[in-house]
Amino acid sequence: MYDSYMTEVAVSEARDRLAEVIDETRRSGEPISVTRRGRRVAVIIDSDAFDRLVDIAEDIEDRYELDAARADDDYVPWDEVKAALGLE
């Protein structure tokens, strides 16, 4: 997704101007690819974007685990949980 237009910066340049690179990604909201010998070795992203990505990954993992539990018939339907907790 980002690969086609992500800004690239060499490790040596990132080292020399790290504060500017961080400010740039925070300002633009776009990640910056850090490269060594032309190959991406790291990506600098805004911390809010990172938090969103972690939340999305956790949601996907939760859905996967729920699907696996349903496939194993190892889950309790939400209606039963609410009733057991007196939430209905």
Q: Could you tell me how far CA 10 lies from the centroid of its own chain?
A: 23
Instruction: Assign 82 a pLDDT band (cuts: 50, 70, 90).
Output: confident
Domain boundaries defined on the chain: 1-45, 46-82
Residue 21: strand pairing partners: none
pTM: 0.66
CB 33 within 8 A of CB 40: yes
The residue behind tokens 């740039």 is: 24
| CATH architecture, domain 1-45 | 3-Layer(aba) Sandwich (3.40)
Percent of the chain past pLDDT 90, that is, above it, reads 64
